[in-house]
A and B are shown apart, each in its own frame.
Chain A
Amino acid sequence: MPQIAQIAETYSSQIFWLLLTFGFVFFVIGLGMVPKVQGTADARDAKITGDLDAAKAAFARADDAEADYRVRDAESRVAAQAVMARAKADAAKASEAKLAAADAEVASKIAAAEARIQAASNAALAEIETVAAEAARDMVARISGVDASEDAARNAVKAALAHG
């Protein structure tokens, strides 16, 4: 077994070259280069985590904005409904008042017209009485030759009119 057979001649060379090469590996590669490689990987991990966090925060902000928008939307809906209800009430009140005014006017016009009609019919009745009395006096004069007085004719006409 050369590992044992040659140990006396080779151990110093083995140890020397191993320390030299491993020293190079440790100091140049291990201490000099590996931290940079690992630093790059760590920086990338940090960047990915940071980006993910930023994306998460942006998501949260978007959610907040949406919730805010919803709240304001609901608020303005309520406000609009209130304005609409008020406008409706106002309009109803105004039309009621107008209707009342119009009703009153119509009523007064009707009353005036009724009064006029009443007056006209009274006048007409009076005229008919007069004409009838004249006719009655004429008829009495012609038939009996008695000149009936105006009052008697009028009374007779009234009685006849009242009996229908």
Chain B
Amino acid sequence: MAESGKIDPMHQFAIEPLFGTDHLSLGGFNIAFTNSALYMVLAAVVLWIFVIGGLKRELVPGRWQMAVEYMTGFIKNLLIANIGDNGRKYIPYVFSLFMFILLANLLGLLPLGLFGLHPFTFTSHFTATGVLAIMSFSIVLIVGFWKHGLHFFSLFVPHGTPLPMIPVIFPIELISFMVRPFSLGLRLFVAMTAGHVLLKVLAGFVINSANAGVGYGLTVGSASFVLMIGISALEVLVAVIQAYVFALLTSVYLNDAENLH
């Protein structure tokens, strides 16, 4: 424990106020500009620059415009496949959600540690993913009750449910519905946290085994390093998949709100 204690795999998730804004507050709440906030701003700015490249509005697009249009088209197809043509109005929200999470995940994976910086993945914090999940869930609730009124509750009674089963089915469906924001937020938080912890633990193996001697370094250390390379690639995939899952589930839930069943 004393040996491995040198490297704390959880330290990467620590939130630290930057630029001496420790006590910045608004209405009695602390709103310090932290490393987490910095990466949120970075994700927003990178996304902004990316989308500006798509605003050339040329009939024959260049590479950059093509890339931006590919992403918006991807979200459009996702929404149309899940919701139908009604889904087009959610393109701005789901695009923002998908790209923001995707860039947060990818920016957090950048090997900035090589330059002495501390990359930070704010999607590994459930305070951040929870807000996004609650936002999606709120939109589902608002759209559902706006469009269908109290009829929205029929969502919890699937078609063709026998009458005596309704008292049993209704609470089950209600609970599964209420669990959605938690599963949405926790899935992203857990996936990002687990991947980053795994990478840091393996990195700790490499460093500690190398320090323990050449024999350990060449066996345990190099094996861990090879594993890290593979897992780093896997993490890039997970970063994309988790952003996609978040957008996909949001659109599936929105489909419930738009079309009931």
Contacts and interface: CB of A to CB of B under 8 A. Distances in A.
Given A2-B15, A17-B40, A29-B47, A37 B54 contact: yes
Given A2-B13, A37-B69, A37-B72, A19 B95 contact: no
B92 A10 contact: no
Nearest to B73: A41
A12 B131 CA distance: 11
Nearest to B59: A44
B32 A13 contact: yes
Contact of A24 (B29, B44, B135): B44
Interface stretch (B118-126, B145-153, B161-169, B220-228): B118-126
Interface in B5-63: 10-11, 13-15, 17, 26, 29-34, 36-37, 40-41, 43-44, 47-48, 51-52, 54-55, 57-59, 61
Q: Which size bracket describes the interface of B in this complex?
A: 35 or more
B127 A17 contact: no
A52 to B, nearest CB: 15
B157 interface: no
B132 interface: yes
Contacts of B232: none
A12 B30 contact: yes
Given A2-B15, A3-B127, A41-B72, A14 B36 contact: yes
A151 interface: no
A13 B36 CA distance: 9
Given A17-B33, A36-B57, A38-B72, A3 B51 contact: no
Interface string A2-19: 110011011111111111
Interface in B76-125: 76, 91-93, 95-96, 99-100, 122, 124-125
B5 to A, nearest CB: 16
Nearest to B29: A12
Interface residues of A, number: 37
A34 B92 contact: yes
Contacts of B131: 14-15, 18-19, 22
A9 to B, nearest CB: 7
Contact of A28 (B30, B48, B54, B61): B48
B6 to A, nearest CB: 18
Among A19, A21, A36, A47, the most chain B Cβ lie within 10 Å of the Cβ of A21
Contacts of A38: 69, 72-73, 76, 91
Contacts of B26: 16
A126 interface: no
Contact of B57 (A11, A12, A26, A40): A40
Nearest to B56: A40
A22 B41 contact: no
A-B pairs, top 4 by smallest CB distance, nearest first, are A30-B92, A17-B37, A12-B29, A30-B96
